[in-house]
Structure 1
């Protein structure tokens, strides 16, 4: 295995690859699934030293595809494997009712069992609550996971799309809070909200890593896509505002300015963006998603590209002045609040 830059996952957490692999697209959402190509990408990632892999029980066939790779290669011990539960409620038989958070204790136990089976492993390195369940105190969530942590079935804990209060409450749980070493949040040149609202600073003060999902803005930063027509009919990006016919050209103006900086480094916009994220925050770890070994090869150089302070500031100034078109999700789709009820209001399942 090659030497690849590493970062610590939280102040007192384990060392992981400085850039990880987001495995959502391996199993869902971005057009046709190609299991052979996915396995080739996974092998490339492991060989290159990109060993922080991130999936979820809601990413279609992603967990199962990773599980088959582990079974075929016998390389499970080389990978720091993160998965997630709770953004969807698969206990609902009606698909229309599945799109809601569920972190009730019985459901958590069910999902741990399901993920272990799909991934063909007997332990999970990092287990995230994918979305905060407003009706279940975070203290109850962690206590439900305590037996798995104590047995070694789950090594570390994380939260995704939480708020500062929920993070602080999780970190305060006696004997478990120190195991909460990561928060997964969207962060990219087109999504800087966690810097503006104070969350990034709070995570740093708490000694928690910020694992940045969609760091390349779902491929927008790459510049390879110039129109909604570049996507398959079943690609989720056809549904997202930043890729609409109205907003796409406006957002590409910023992408082309990033490319001009990248050209100076004989690099791609994706590589410069990943390098910029790493240079901007010591506790940030981007996990660009791909199912393509060629894209992995490109992205991996972002961890090795060194930007000067002038470059970092130039990109920052560019992004601060950019006129971003479109939000994260379509109008009418609420953003997660990351809030949950106080422990005093919990009345059990």
Structure 2
């Protein structure tokens, strides 16, 4: 089982090489019941050897109308299972205006965001890492990182991460205060030059790349064949890559990866996660699930290894992949790669 190491202000932390994203538990029209969420989180943590922590990725705004329902769920989890607080490394994304998805990196809003997160967790779990979900282009990144550095010094947060940033922006933040993680989207159909630049810059500076959506927002699992396969209230219905016309073209990529996975005896999702993990010891895939079976399937990708021939086949698909449509709707594109 592979692990990776986070370099935090208080020392090194060893975490499982595959993390667990929690957004899908509460950022939906129908919130997943606590019992199901708790079972999925526990199953993941329980699958790890002693001394290895599970990286959990939460969000202040992962709820209906950007509410902190996700944190409230986690607070109840750690209240019920206090032993799991030390078995997990908790990252929380914040830095948006209260009740919205508008980035606000001002001193006042970052203080509000951090204090809200700490309050919602009710002392049952510390904030091991905080990251602004998006960069506020009205505030110099150096200012926002300096503000967060004060919260590290005060003990409100354990370390600082960055999200959806270019390599040069990551390095600007890292000069102000050591950055522990950088979260970007990485998958076999999302491996642009920007992605490669961030992975390289992170490697040179002992920063872990948290690679979210390694299964292409679920599409690379092979389970989505038409728009109607998404629930009526699924936010992915808005994504251009899943629209009729684009979706059919993108299925070619899915089918190519599925053929390789089938020949290897693993699922397409495991193939995608394992490929992302293979990009470096500092690259941590972050699939998300609210289901125990899917969570364990995702984590099983940690034991997948590729022969040189298999890796060549996957890399050939990646090199030739030209996804039809942007990865997010038009109104969200402006906040990417800040």
Tell me the distance in 2 between the aligned counterparts of 1:243 and 1:316. 23
1:136 equivalent to 2:139? Answer yes
Residue aligning to 1:345: none
Residue aligning to 1:84: 93
Residue aligning to 2:128: 125
Give the deviation of 1:116 after TM superposition: 1.5
Tell me the distance in 2 between the aligned counterparts of 1:274 and 1:188. 8
Tell me the distance in 2 between the aligned counterparts of 1:148 and 1:141. 11
Residue aligning to 2:113: 111
Q: Secondary structure at the match of 1:124?
A: coil
1:168 equivalent to 2:176? Answer no
Q: Secondary structure at the match of 1:190?
A: coil
Structure 1 pair 192–314 and aligned structure 2 pair: CA distance change class (3 A):
same
Query: Structure 1 unaligned runs (5+)?
Result: 340-349
Please say if residues 280 and 312 of structure 1, whose CA atoms lie closer than 8 Å, have aligned partners that are also in contact. no
Q: Secondary structure at the match of 1:55?
A: strand
Structure 1 pair 282–261 and aligned structure 2 pair: CA distance change class (3 A):
same
Tell me the distance in 1 between the aligned counterparts of 2:232 and 2:253. 26
Structure 1 pair 230–30 and aligned structure 2 pair: CA distance change class (3 A):
farther
Please say if residues 166 and 194 of structure 2, whose CA atoms lie closer than 8 Å, have aligned partners that are also in contact. no
Structure 1 pair 241–34 and aligned structure 2 pair: CA distance change class (3 A):
farther
Tell me the distance in 1 between the aligned counterparts of 2:144 and 2:331. 29
Give the deviation of 1:309 after TM superposition: 2.0
Residue aligning to 1:181: 180
Residue aligning to 1:9: 6
Tell me the distance in 1 between the aligned counterparts of 2:56 and 2:193. 23
Give the deviation of 1:197 after TM superposition: 6.3
1:256 equivalent to 2:258? Answer no
1:19 equivalent to 2:18? Answer yes
Query: Structure 2 unaligned runs (5+)?
Result: 64-68
Give the deviation of 1:182 after TM superposition: 0.8
Residue aligning to 1:328: 327
Give the deviation of 1:308 after TM superposition: 1.3
Residue aligning to 2:66: none
1:38 equivalent to 2:37? Answer yes
Tell me the distance in 1 between the aligned counterparts of 2:330 and 2:158. 38
Tell me the distance in 2 between the aligned counterparts of 1:212 and 1:67. 25
Structure 1 pair 287–30 and aligned structure 2 pair: CA distance change class (3 A):
farther
Moved more, 315-324 or 330-339: 330-339
Moved more, 149-158 or 55-64: 149-158
| Number of residue-to-residue matches in the alignment | 325
Please say if residues 31 and 232 of structure 1, whose CA atoms lie closer than 8 Å, have aligned partners that are also in contact. no
Please say if residues 195 and 201 of structure 1, whose CA atoms lie closer than 8 Å, have aligned partners that are also in contact. no
* CA deviation vs aligned residue, 1:204-250 (integer Å, no higher than 9, x gap): 22221110111111110111121111111110111111111222222
Moved more, 183-192 or 314-323: 314-323
1:156 equivalent to 2:159? Answer yes
Q: Secondary structure at the match of 2:59?
A: coil
